[in-house]
Protein backbone atom coordinates (compact mmCIF):
# COMPACT_ATOMS: atom_id res chain seq x y z
CA UNK A 1 0.00 0.00 0.00
CA UNK A 2 1.45 3.36 -1.07
CA UNK A 3 0.12 6.59 0.46
CA UNK A 4 1.04 10.06 -0.77
CA UNK A 5 0.73 13.10 1.46
CA UNK A 6 1.33 10.76 4.40
CA UNK A 7 3.06 13.24 6.68
CA UNK A 8 -0.09 15.05 7.75
CA UNK A 9 -3.85 15.34 7.44
CA UNK A 10 -5.81 12.67 5.62
CA UNK A 11 -2.72 10.84 4.38
CA UNK A 12 -1.37 10.39 7.88
CA UNK A 13 -4.77 9.32 9.17
CA UNK A 14 -4.95 6.70 6.40
CA UNK A 15 -1.56 5.35 7.45
CA UNK A 16 -2.76 5.07 11.03
CA UNK A 17 -6.03 3.42 9.99
CA UNK A 18 -4.30 0.79 7.86
CA UNK A 19 -1.21 0.16 9.98
CA UNK A 20 -2.61 -2.91 11.72
CA UNK A 21 -3.48 -4.69 8.47
CA UNK A 22 -1.19 -3.42 5.69
CA UNK A 23 2.47 -2.95 4.92
CA UNK A 24 2.92 0.70 4.00
CA UNK A 25 4.98 2.90 1.73
CA UNK A 26 4.57 6.46 3.00
CA UNK A 27 5.51 9.47 0.89
CA UNK A 28 5.58 13.13 1.87
CA UNK A 29 7.56 16.31 1.30
CA UNK A 30 8.51 17.01 4.93
CA UNK A 31 10.95 14.42 6.23
CA UNK A 32 10.36 15.24 9.90
CA UNK A 33 6.58 14.92 9.71
CA UNK A 34 6.89 11.79 7.60
CA UNK A 35 9.19 10.19 10.16
CA UNK A 36 6.61 10.82 12.87
CA UNK A 37 3.88 9.21 10.77
CA UNK A 38 6.11 6.24 9.99
CA UNK A 39 6.96 5.71 13.66
CA UNK A 40 3.27 5.78 14.59
CA UNK A 41 2.43 3.23 11.89
CA UNK A 42 5.26 0.94 12.96
CA UNK A 43 4.06 1.13 16.56
CA UNK A 44 0.66 -0.07 15.34
CA UNK A 45 2.24 -3.09 13.68
CA UNK A 46 2.94 -2.08 10.07
CA UNK A 47 6.11 -2.72 8.13
CA UNK A 48 6.83 0.78 6.84
CA UNK A 49 8.99 2.25 4.11
CA UNK A 50 9.06 6.05 4.30
CA UNK A 51 10.52 8.35 1.65
CA UNK A 52 10.71 12.11 1.48
CA UNK A 53 9.18 12.62 -1.95
CA UNK A 54 7.97 15.61 -3.95
CA UNK A 55 5.10 14.31 -6.08
CA UNK A 56 5.55 17.15 -8.57
CA UNK A 57 9.30 16.72 -9.13
CA UNK A 58 10.56 13.29 -8.08
CA UNK A 59 10.33 10.28 -10.37
CA UNK A 60 7.73 7.69 -9.31
CA UNK A 61 9.19 5.07 -11.64
CA UNK A 62 12.59 5.38 -10.00
CA UNK A 63 10.93 5.13 -6.59
CA UNK A 64 9.06 1.95 -7.51
CA UNK A 65 12.17 0.45 -9.05
CA UNK A 66 13.85 1.00 -5.68
CA UNK A 67 11.15 -0.16 -3.28
CA UNK A 68 9.46 -2.78 -5.46
CA UNK A 69 5.86 -3.10 -6.67
CA UNK A 70 2.87 -1.84 -4.71
CA UNK A 71 -0.59 -3.37 -4.73
CA UNK A 72 -2.78 -0.37 -3.80
CA UNK A 73 -2.51 3.42 -3.94
CA UNK A 74 -4.04 6.13 -1.79
CA UNK A 75 -3.31 9.48 -3.43
CA UNK A 76 -3.96 12.25 -0.93
CA UNK A 77 -1.26 14.88 -1.51
CA UNK A 78 -2.88 18.23 -2.26
CA UNK A 79 -2.22 21.94 -2.64
CA UNK A 80 -4.15 25.19 -2.69
CA UNK A 81 -3.30 28.88 -2.28
CA UNK A 82 -4.95 31.88 -0.59
CA UNK A 83 -5.34 33.69 -3.94
CA UNK A 84 -8.23 31.79 -5.46
CA UNK A 85 -10.30 34.07 -7.69
CA UNK A 86 -9.79 35.11 -11.31
CA UNK A 87 -9.24 38.61 -9.96
CA UNK A 88 -6.24 37.78 -7.79
CA UNK A 89 -4.85 34.33 -8.71
CA UNK A 90 -1.26 33.95 -9.92
CA UNK A 91 -0.52 31.61 -12.77
CA UNK A 92 2.60 30.19 -11.14
CA UNK A 93 0.43 29.14 -8.19
CA UNK A 94 -2.26 27.85 -10.57
CA UNK A 95 0.28 25.63 -12.30
CA UNK A 96 1.69 24.38 -8.99
CA UNK A 97 -1.80 23.45 -7.76
CA UNK A 98 -2.62 21.56 -10.96
CA UNK A 99 0.77 19.84 -10.88
CA UNK A 100 0.19 18.63 -7.31
CA UNK A 101 -3.51 17.80 -7.44
CA UNK A 102 -3.90 16.38 -10.96
CA UNK A 103 -0.65 15.71 -12.79
CA UNK A 104 1.09 14.04 -9.84
CA UNK A 105 -1.66 11.43 -9.29
CA UNK A 106 -1.60 10.64 -13.02
CA UNK A 107 2.17 10.17 -12.91
CA UNK A 108 1.97 7.87 -9.89
CA UNK A 109 -0.82 5.76 -11.38
CA UNK A 110 1.03 5.48 -14.67
CA UNK A 111 4.18 4.30 -12.93
CA UNK A 112 2.35 1.81 -10.69
CA UNK A 113 -0.05 0.41 -13.30
CA UNK A 114 1.88 -2.80 -14.14
CA UNK A 115 2.00 -3.71 -10.46
CA UNK A 116 -1.65 -2.75 -9.95
CA UNK A 117 -2.62 -5.05 -12.81
CA UNK A 118 -0.58 -7.91 -11.37
CA UNK A 119 -2.15 -7.46 -7.93
CA UNK A 120 -5.68 -6.52 -9.06
CA UNK A 121 -5.06 -3.41 -7.04
CA UNK A 122 -7.17 -0.50 -5.87
CA UNK A 123 -6.54 3.19 -6.45
CA UNK A 124 -8.18 5.65 -4.06
CA UNK A 125 -7.96 9.26 -5.19
CA UNK A 126 -8.73 11.93 -2.61
CA UNK A 127 -10.55 14.72 -4.41
CA UNK A 128 -12.87 17.24 -2.75
CA UNK A 129 -16.51 18.10 -2.40
CA UNK A 130 -15.51 21.06 -4.58
CA UNK A 131 -15.32 18.56 -7.45
CA UNK A 132 -18.85 17.32 -6.76
CA UNK A 133 -20.84 20.49 -6.18
CA UNK A 134 -20.55 24.26 -6.53
CA UNK A 135 -17.85 25.56 -4.20
CA UNK A 136 -16.73 29.07 -5.22
CA UNK A 137 -14.47 29.55 -2.22
CA UNK A 138 -12.31 26.56 -3.15
CA UNK A 139 -10.62 28.48 -5.95
CA UNK A 140 -10.32 28.26 -9.72
CA UNK A 141 -7.21 26.08 -9.87
CA UNK A 142 -8.24 23.83 -7.00
CA UNK A 143 -11.71 23.15 -8.40
CA UNK A 144 -10.40 22.52 -11.90
CA UNK A 145 -7.70 20.13 -10.68
CA UNK A 146 -10.00 18.24 -8.34
CA UNK A 147 -12.66 17.85 -11.01
CA UNK A 148 -10.02 16.48 -13.35
CA UNK A 149 -9.39 13.65 -10.92
CA UNK A 150 -12.83 12.29 -11.75
CA UNK A 151 -11.66 11.71 -15.32
CA UNK A 152 -8.60 9.85 -14.05
CA UNK A 153 -10.75 7.60 -11.88
CA UNK A 154 -13.39 7.00 -14.55
CA UNK A 155 -10.83 6.18 -17.22
CA UNK A 156 -9.09 3.70 -14.95
CA UNK A 157 -12.36 1.93 -14.33
CA UNK A 158 -13.29 1.96 -18.00
CA UNK A 159 -9.96 0.64 -19.24
CA UNK A 160 -8.46 -1.41 -16.41
CA UNK A 161 -11.38 -3.28 -14.86
CA UNK A 162 -10.54 -6.16 -17.17
CA UNK A 163 -7.23 -6.43 -15.30
CA UNK A 164 -8.94 -6.37 -11.90
CA UNK A 165 -7.94 -2.77 -11.18
CA UNK A 166 -10.58 -0.62 -9.51
CA UNK A 167 -10.52 3.11 -8.78
CA UNK A 168 -12.50 5.18 -6.31
CA UNK A 169 -12.70 8.93 -5.97
CA UNK A 170 -13.36 10.30 -2.48
CA UNK A 171 -14.90 13.78 -2.18
CA UNK A 172 -14.73 15.04 1.41
CA UNK A 173 -16.27 18.22 2.71
CA UNK A 174 -14.48 20.46 5.19
CA UNK A 175 -11.80 18.60 7.16
CA UNK A 176 -10.11 20.05 10.23
CA UNK A 177 -6.47 19.90 9.10
CA UNK A 178 -3.62 22.34 8.64
CA UNK A 179 -4.66 22.55 4.98
CA UNK A 180 -7.23 25.09 6.16
CA UNK A 181 -4.40 27.57 6.72
CA UNK A 182 -4.27 28.03 2.96
CA UNK A 183 -7.68 29.68 2.96
CA UNK A 184 -7.84 33.47 2.67
CA UNK A 185 -9.64 33.55 6.04
CA UNK A 186 -8.91 30.32 7.93
CA UNK A 187 -11.81 29.13 10.10
CA UNK A 188 -11.44 29.07 13.86
CA UNK A 189 -13.19 27.95 17.02
CA UNK A 190 -16.71 26.60 16.61
CA UNK A 191 -16.35 26.37 12.84
CA UNK A 192 -13.66 23.72 13.30
CA UNK A 193 -15.71 21.75 15.80
CA UNK A 194 -18.35 20.76 13.23
CA UNK A 195 -15.93 19.70 10.48
CA UNK A 196 -14.85 16.20 9.53
CA UNK A 197 -11.70 14.84 11.10
CA UNK A 198 -8.95 13.19 9.05
CA UNK A 199 -9.87 9.94 10.82
CA UNK A 200 -13.42 10.18 9.45
CA UNK A 201 -12.10 10.24 5.89
CA UNK A 202 -9.54 7.54 6.60
CA UNK A 203 -12.29 5.25 7.90
CA UNK A 204 -14.16 5.67 4.62
CA UNK A 205 -11.02 4.94 2.61
CA UNK A 206 -10.42 1.79 4.62
CA UNK A 207 -13.98 0.71 3.78
CA UNK A 208 -13.22 1.13 0.07
CA UNK A 209 -9.99 -0.83 0.29
CA UNK A 210 -11.54 -3.61 2.36
CA UNK A 211 -14.51 -4.13 0.02
CA UNK A 212 -14.57 -7.52 -1.76
CA UNK A 213 -12.65 -7.59 -5.05
CA UNK A 214 -15.84 -7.68 -7.13
CA UNK A 215 -17.15 -4.52 -5.43
CA UNK A 216 -16.10 -1.08 -6.65
CA UNK A 217 -16.99 2.16 -4.87
CA UNK A 218 -16.84 4.52 -7.83
CA UNK A 219 -17.45 7.71 -5.85
CA UNK A 220 -17.84 8.47 -2.17
CA UNK A 221 -18.96 11.90 -0.95
CA UNK A 222 -18.48 12.61 2.75
CA UNK A 223 -20.03 15.70 4.35
CA UNK A 224 -20.12 17.05 7.88
CA UNK A 225 -23.60 16.86 9.36
CA UNK A 226 -23.61 20.66 9.57
CA UNK A 227 -23.26 21.13 5.80
CA UNK A 228 -25.98 23.49 4.59
CA UNK A 229 -28.35 22.62 1.75
CA UNK A 230 -26.89 23.20 -1.69
Closest by CA position to 131, among listed 94, 99, 173: 173
Q: Report how far residue 116's alpha carbon sits from residue 154's, in angstroms, rounded to the nearest whole number.
A: 16
Angle at 63 between CA 48 and CA 157, to 5 degrees: 90
Backbone angles phi, psi at 52, to 5 degrees: -65, 125
Q: Report how far residue 31's alpha carbon sits from residue 37's, in angstroms, rounded to the nearest whole number.
A: 10
Sign of CA dihedral 52, 104, 88, 224: negative
- Which residues are marked as active site? 142
Sheet hosting strand 219-222, strand order edge to edge: 48-52, 24-28, 2-4, 73-75, 122-126, 166-172, 219-222
Amino acid sequence: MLVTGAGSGTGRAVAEALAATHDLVLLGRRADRLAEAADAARAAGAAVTARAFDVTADDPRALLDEIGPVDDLVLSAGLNAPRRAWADQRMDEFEAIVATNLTAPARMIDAALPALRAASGTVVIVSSIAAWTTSPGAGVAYRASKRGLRALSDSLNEQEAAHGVRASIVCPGDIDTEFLRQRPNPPRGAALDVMLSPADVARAIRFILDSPPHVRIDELVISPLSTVAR
